[in-house]
Chain A
Amino acid sequence: MTFTPLSKEKRIWATLFPMKADRDLEFKLRVLKVVERLPQDAKRAERLNQVAGELWRSVLKCPVKPFRVKETPCFLVPEEKAGLADGYSFIGPANREYHLKLTDETINVDLSESKLDHRDIVCDMLVRSFSDKFMRLQDKFWRWHWTLFYKNRSENSDNANRLVDAFRGIKFSVVWLDDLGLHLAADIRTKYMGRKSLREHLESGDTKFIKDHLKTEKKGKADPGSLFIRDNEIVKYSCLYAGQAGEPAEKATFIDTDGRTRTVYEYYLDRFKIRLPPNDLVVYVKSSEHGDPIPAPSSRLFPAFDTEQIKKMHESLRAPIPPSPQIPPQKRVEMITEFLHDVRKVRFGDAMLTLEPEPISERQQYFIPPDLLFGK
Chain B
Amino acid sequence: MKSWSHSQTRVMRICERRWFLSYGLGAKINSRDRFLREIAFLKKVKPSFMWRGDLVHGVIADVLQQARRGKTIPVDRASVLLEQRAKNQWLESMRRASSGDPRTSLQPEGPILMEHYYEALNNGLQLDEIISPARQQMMTLYKWIEHHGLLDEMRKTRDVWIEPSLFMPNSPGFSVNDVRFITKVDLALISSGFFRIYDWKTSLEPRGEFHLSHEHRQASYYALWPYFEMNFPVENIEIKVVYAGGDNPKAHEARLVHQDIEDLIADAELIIEATREFLDVDKGFILEDFDWATSGKACQWCPFQQICQRELI
Contacts and interface: CB of A to CB of B under 8 A. Distances in A.
A198 to B, nearest CB: 14
A208 B207 CA distance: 25
B312 A36 contact: yes
A93 B293 contact: yes
Interface stretch (A43-51, A133-141, A269-277, A337-345): A43-51
Main secondary structure of the interface of A (DSSP, over half): mixed
Given A91-B300, A242-B207, A242-B212, A50 B312 contact: no
Given A43-B291, A50-B294, A95 B212 contact: no
Interface string A162-185: 000000000000000000000000
Interface stretch (A2-10, A114-122, A216-224, A365-373): A216-224
A191 to B, nearest CB: 24
Contact of B220 (A215, A221, A295): A221
B312 A39 contact: yes
A94 B299 contact: yes
Given A39-B312, A243-B209, A220 B294 contact: no
Given A41-B291, A46-B294, A215 B212 contact: yes
A94 B212 contact: no
Contacts of A220: 259-260, 263
Nearest to B295: A50
B305 interface: yes
Interface in B194-252: 206-214, 217, 220
Interface residues of B, number: 35
B312 A94 contact: yes
A96 B207 contact: no
Nearest to A225: B212
Contacts of B208: 242-245, 283-284, 286, 293
B296 A95 contact: yes
A294 B313 CA distance: 41
Contacts of A12: none
Main secondary structure of the interface of B (DSSP, over half): helix
A230 to B, nearest CB: 15
Interface in B254-313: 257, 259-260, 263-264, 266-267, 291-297, 299-300, 302, 305, 308-309, 311-313
Nearest to B302: A95
A222 B267 contact: yes
A244 B208 CA distance: 6
Contacts of B308: 39, 93-94
A286 B311 CA distance: 38
Contact of B292 (A39, A222, A284, A293): A39
B294 A293 contact: no
A92 interface: yes
A317 interface: no
A290 interface: yes
A43 B294 contact: yes
A284 B206 CA distance: 11
B300 A95 contact: yes
B309 to A, nearest CB: 5
B11 to A, nearest CB: 16
A96 B292 CA distance: 13
B206 A293 contact: yes
Interface of A: 36-39, 41-43, 46-47, 50, 90-96, 215, 218, 220-222, 241-245, 283-284, 286, 290, 292-295
Interface of B: 120, 206-214, 217, 220, 257, 259-260, 263-264, 266-267, 291-297, 299-300, 302, 305, 308-309, 311-313
Given A39-B292, A221-B267, A242-B213, 18 more contacts: A47-B294, A92-B299, A95-B300, A96-B296, A215-B211, A221-B220, A242-B208, A242-B209, A243-B208, A243-B210, A243-B212, A245-B208, A283-B208, A284-B207, A286-B208, A292-B207, A293-B207, A295-B207
Shortest beta-carbon contacts, A-B, top 9: A243-B209, A243-B208, A242-B208, A284-B208, A94-B308, A91-B296, A92-B296, A95-B299, A293-B207
